[in-house]
Structure 1
């Protein structure tokens, strides 16, 4: 890895964040030094329980139980224990529709919707599929499931009918909750029509439709209107006391195989992890106005909004639609309108704002904003500095984090207000986690040495199994380095303990004896003023083992050409070294990406090597990008 990235000075917390830190620096150091089970018992004392835990951990990876015998309810921790008059949600839709919900209204809605689900025959352990976007009904429906012990599964609203059907067939829900439609970039996206196609021939007993775009949307026989059902249900379901390890939700993650994995998380274990994650990565307080830009179908939203966020009692801004519609100034308008103090987003969203130019910032008062935290993919230092200096006018702290759907938290992060960060890094492992970077033979890598990222001890929010296929869980996560969870990501820990995740292990390339991750090559490209986004993949080479090939999305107004491609290749040479010069630089108007904005590098690699995009495509938002890239490859 380019050593200059590791030599950036550590950036300390800002004074306002330091002044409101949740603990002292000495206490933070003590927590970091605690054995994970002791730490997680301390975190448990900050939550509400029916039967508090007395034992932290039983068993080991693959069969562990955290807080065995302890009981409680997630919804109580997120809704009931906060002042009912406090504002919980400030909802805004792309077309300007706005709603405001208090904690009391959310609790009442969740309790009545839980009773309605019970009246429809939903019992503890039954599955409920949630096909909703970022709407208040998602909070109501999900916390209704938590309240009665139903296992929910959020199905991303942008999936095709085939992808939705795969998930319905796997989870076999008793009830599906959806909206008639959603809005995206000024267009109506018909979610219910997609669901109807997906459900054809499936035995699903009840469908509940929240009519949000078309209030007169026609329901089929036997279907229920969400709001009518809620209004007619006067009974409020009491929260069920659940054991800490009972399964609470299924979330599907895709990869190189055709069948998505239904990861199962325990309810109260996930609550403990999400609550602690928000405490350190955001230091979210009841007086914060906070915006998590993630989609409800991406696990960042349950961690940092639905569960971890609400558990801290802050006011949440919820936005439905594309954040750059109708103009790139929309995010700045939202921050200014609501007085947002903290934002949780993805590096891709920041690169999108940076690409649009600083003119959109003009005239907007963002003085309330003090923290931008991130997760999702590697963050290049250029975007880190733009976020602090341009977006944040030098006063915000930029906290890049790292986590996975499987880990249930962004477990590497700065402890906001307490520990520093280094631009481009993912902070450091938080209390309760034990990370180890290893070589291919399983021995520990030296500081600054690229290797495979592993976690060596269980923690409460780690996914417990793959729904219906525990053998697949063991093969996927526990077989490569016995005794450790394998993240399948390439990483290093620098001399200060900062974690750098450079990409998937499949993306690490060995170029003439040099091990390179995609992050450093892409960071070098992003220093060029013509570059908006960059993705680097490896192409097999008979002589050098592998050679890098770069895909670059230019900024607006930039014209592609041989001169630009040569300049971009030179940028990598300057940033990394002559040995890293890419075999090709391919300038394209778009690249395949997920709804959360992550570039799907494996599809670029497939197109480059075989000409076809293989594996699971269900998380792909823009299938047209495959043809664009394929045509560009053929033309060059």
Structure 2
């Protein structure tokens, strides 16, 4: 990709100008750098009114030939993945591109031997081990659509995703340790599969030597299946617009949205953005600390880095185990050059003793990155001063599950950085700020603030919500005409730099993860004692945002610590521990409009300790605001 790399700010401005004036030619030139079985006929066809977008129409390719096969001749012995275990006493695994290719082909044959064909959906619920990467790439090898579920979600959350996509096979592990805590993934999967009639086969990787309950006729061990499979597997020819994966993200309504990403456009833009944002050299070591269960892991642990022939680190553990120096120990040990993590992790480490950072040699670091949510100023400076020692540019990246790849970011060492600013759009990304009347804000004032939209298609955009295109249209393309609405607010300064100010819809970003409030409220309302609830986000020193639940109980129920625990357990069981509210306040009522809509704006202010509630006279029950405010936690 180096022949397309931007090497100076003047080159960035030139590339951006070309990408806006002639986007098809711009992306054509990038696409030429990849392996195609058949070249595309039309670069782009789209219709905003139907929310239909097609890139590289009728082009044929396979993404695994681009992330694996094309590196084999010259770089087959280069390290593709370095795996670092949860327990530092366990051995690091080094996997070359040649070895990864062989394992992917072998597991692709395992999938075929178990009846998986092109277009079938495969659920993957695994810890951060190389076999997770092997499984997802094996799906792509044969044209199966992978749906990876974060291995912290509950059995109910897995079941809903499997049933929505009608997956035929699931890949999991028996047990895993997260820090010192053992988690029996197979037990969670068994619970889920009680309600998943579409699943025919469950393949289990034995991560721990614990006894594993297996269901006859359905469950098979990874090692046994691999022993029967050949290491030769031709890559399936895929259309540019064939689905590559489904990844579920929380919505502002109850049901998670299965975002569908397709093959060619996703590959091209993740590779292009990775290459230019991080500016890696062939000998560099790149580490993104995300989980592959999220889009960050899909795009910037696996597909983007491997498409560029990079060495990428996978870490199974957590930043606090065995102590708060674990990240920095790994940076020193592996001589990591590029480090990409979430503001949540930075904040949690910043509150610990500086000794955890200072005792390690971090001189290998060249570039630092931030992802998942806007980074606050204090965290930015701590990261810059103590991790980067003032020598590493910080690429503060903004993007979403739906965008597929980074949309706004500094280019490391090329464009200037500024604390808390995502800075400038990448070439090919046409941003617009909209006012509340749907008019674009075109002024170049000192500060223009509005709702962040994208007014022209980009290759890595999600194409639909699986099985529900109308929901895709309504969620992303109904707010503003001929534009994608991100759901985020932002402001732009006189230099054109963007700063993301946060969500403007009913989605809260907690520890970098989008959590829809509606499914959490649904889970709370399942408790027999609960009449109604409302969940909002409030500022949190570590997580960025945390969840605050306002809960109405039936008259015969009394608030108690036990009831709080039961409600939290209900949320954990329904969605996962990540969605548990930090605070639960029992209230007599909720502020509502006369049409019955909950005024979340007021609840957010109460949760955030703000006192200016604006005009409450239009509420059906204005007196309730003062009652809630008096009882706030």
Task: Write the distance in 2 (CA, Å) between the matches of 1:341 and 1:620.
Answer: 34
State whether residues 153 and 251 of structure 1, in contact with CA within 8 Å, keep that contact through their aligned partners in structure 2. yes
Q: Equivalent residue for 2:140? A: 146
State whether residues 90 and 318 of structure 1, in contact with CA within 8 Å, keep that contact through their aligned partners in structure 2. yes
Which residue among 203, 208, 216 is the counterpart of 1:221? 216
State whether residues 21 and 416 of structure 1, in contact with CA within 8 Å, keep that contact through their aligned partners in structure 2. no
Q: Equivalent residue for 2:234? A: 238
Task: Write the distance in 1 (CA, Å) between the matches of 2:64 and 2:482.
Answer: 34
Task: Write the distance in 1 (CA, Å) between the matches of 2:580 and 2:247.
Answer: 26
Aligned-residue offset at 1:23: 3.0
Structure 2 counterpart SS, 1:192 = helix
Q: Equivalent residue for 1:71? A: 60
Task: Write the distance in 1 (CA, Å) between the matches of 2:39 and 2:571.
Answer: 42
When residues 102 and 450 of structure 1 are mapped into structure 2, their CA distance, relative to the original with a 3 A threshold, is same
Q: Equivalent residue for 1:395? A: 391
State whether residues 123 and 148 of structure 1, in contact with CA within 8 Å, keep that contact through their aligned partners in structure 2. yes
Aligned-residue offset at 1:380: 1.1
State whether residues 170 and 202 of structure 2, in contact with CA within 8 Å, keep that contact through their aligned partners in structure 1. yes
TM-score, normalisation: structure 2: 0.80
Which residue among 397, 403, 407 is the counterpart of 1:407? 403
State whether residues 571 and 580 of structure 2, in contact with CA within 8 Å, keep that contact through their aligned partners in structure 1. no
Task: Write the distance in 2 (CA, Å) between the matches of 1:254 and 1:369.
Answer: 34
Which residue among 119, 128, 138 is the counterpart of 1:134? 128
Q: Equivalent residue for 1:33? A: 17
When residues 501 and 507 of structure 1 are mapped into structure 2, their CA distance, relative to the original with a 3 A threshold, is farther
Task: Write the distance in 2 (CA, Å) between the matches of 1:606 and 1:213.
Answer: 41
Aligned-residue offset at 1:599: 3.1
Q: Equivalent residue for 2:526? A: none
Aligned-residue offset at 1:624: 5.4
Which residue among 200, 206, 213 is the counterpart of 1:205? 200
Which residue among 97, 105, 109 is the counterpart of 1:103? 97
Aligned-residue offset at 1:160: 0.8
Aligned-residue offset at 1:173: 0.8
Aligned-residue offset at 1:46: 2.0
When residues 109 and 148 of structure 1 are mapped into structure 2, their CA distance, relative to the original with a 3 A threshold, is same
Q: In the TM superposition, what are the counterparts of 1:332-347 in structure 2 within 5 Å?
A: 332-347=328-343
Structure 2 counterpart SS, 1:343 = strand
Q: Equivalent residue for 1:484? A: 483
Aligned-residue offset at 1:25: 3.6
For each residue in 1:441-473, what CA deviation from the matched residue of structure 2 results, as whole angstroms up to 9, or x when unmatched? 111224422211100011111010011000010
Task: Write the distance in 2 (CA, Å) between the matches of 1:507 and 1:146.
Answer: 34
Q: In the TM superposition, what are the counterparts of 1:122-521 in structure 2 within 5 Å?
A: 122-203=116-197, 204-214=199-209, 216-222=211-217, 223-445=219-441, 446=443, 447=445, 448-506=447-505
Q: Say if 2:40 is the partner of 1:45.
A: no
State whether residues 152 and 249 of structure 1, in contact with CA within 8 Å, keep that contact through their aligned partners in structure 2. yes
For each residue in 1:480-529, what CA deviation from the matched residue of structure 2 results, as whole angstroms up to 9, or x when unmatched? 10100011111111111111111011489xxxxxxxxx99xx9xxxxxxx
Task: Write the distance in 1 (CA, Å) between the matches of 2:585 and 2:291.
Answer: 26
State whether residues 116 and 230 of structure 1, in contact with CA within 8 Å, keep that contact through their aligned partners in structure 2. yes
Task: Write the distance in 1 (CA, Å) between the matches of 2:367 and 2:62.
Answer: 30
Task: Write the distance in 2 (CA, Å) between the matches of 1:285 and 1:170.
Answer: 42
Structure 2 counterpart SS, 1:198 = helix
For each residue in 1:44-91, what CA deviation from the matched residue of structure 2 results, as whole angstroms up to 9, or x when unmatched? 122221123353211233111100011111111111122221111111
Aligned-residue offset at 1:28: 2.2
Task: Write the distance in 1 (CA, Å) between the matches of 2:580 and 2:458.
Answer: 40
Aligned-residue offset at 1:214: 2.4
State whether residues 395 and 409 of structure 2, in contact with CA within 8 Å, keep that contact through their aligned partners in structure 1. yes
Q: Say if 2:70 is the partner of 1:81.
A: yes
When residues 412 and 619 of structure 1 are mapped into structure 2, their CA distance, relative to the original with a 3 A threshold, is farther
Aligned-residue offset at 1:363: 2.1
Structure 2 counterpart SS, 1:59 = strand
Task: Write the distance in 2 (CA, Å) between the matches of 1:164 and 1:492.
Answer: 37
More displaced stretch, 400-409 vs 616-625: 616-625
State whether residues 66 and 269 of structure 1, in contact with CA within 8 Å, keep that contact through their aligned partners in structure 2. yes
Task: Write the distance in 1 (CA, Å) between the matches of 2:490 and 2:450.
Answer: 6
Task: Write the distance in 2 (CA, Å) between the matches of 1:27 and 1:53.
Answer: 27
For each residue in 1:420-443, what CA deviation from the matched residue of structure 2 results, as whole angstroms up to 9, or x when unmatched? 121101121100110001101111
Task: Write the distance in 1 (CA, Å) between the matches of 2:502 and 2:540.
Answer: 17
- Structure 2's unaligned 5+ residue stretches are 511-516, 518-535, 588-606, 608-628
When residues 412 and 180 of structure 1 are mapped into structure 2, their CA distance, relative to the original with a 3 A threshold, is same
Task: Write the distance in 2 (CA, Å) between the matches of 1:380 and 1:409.
Answer: 22
When residues 619 and 86 of structure 1 are mapped into structure 2, their CA distance, relative to the original with a 3 A threshold, is farther
* Higher relative contact order (Cα pairs below 8 Å, separated by 6+ residues): 1
Aligned-residue offset at 1:235: 4.9
Structure 2 counterpart SS, 1:417 = coil
Q: Say if 2:565 is the partner of 1:599.
A: no
Task: Write the distance in 1 (CA, Å) between the matches of 2:435 and 2:63.
Answer: 39
More displaced stretch, 23-32 vs 351-360: 23-32
State whether residues 301 and 314 of structure 2, in contact with CA within 8 Å, keep that contact through their aligned partners in structure 1. no
State whether residues 103 and 231 of structure 2, in contact with CA within 8 Å, keep that contact through their aligned partners in structure 1. no
Task: Write the distance in 1 (CA, Å) between the matches of 2:386 and 2:411.
Answer: 23
For each residue in 1:86-143, what CA deviation from the matched residue of structure 2 results, as whole angstroms up to 9, or x when unmatched? 1111111111322111111110011111111111111110000011121100111111
Which residue among 27, 30, 45 is the counterpart of 1:58? 45
- RMSD of aligned Cα (Å): 3.0
State whether residues 370 and 395 of structure 2, in contact with CA within 8 Å, keep that contact through their aligned partners in structure 1. yes
For each residue in 1:208-261, what CA deviation from the matched residue of structure 2 results, as whole angstroms up to 9, or x when unmatched? 001112265342212111122112212522001211111111000003321100
Structure 1 counterpart SS, 2:81 = strand
When residues 396 and 187 of structure 1 are mapped into structure 2, their CA distance, relative to the original with a 3 A threshold, is same
How many residues align structurally?
A: 539
Aligned-residue offset at 1:150: 0.4
State whether residues 79 and 103 of structure 1, in contact with CA within 8 Å, keep that contact through their aligned partners in structure 2. yes
Structure 2 counterpart SS, 1:405 = coil
Structure 1 counterpart SS, 2:42 = coil
More displaced stretch, 442-451 vs 247-256: 442-451
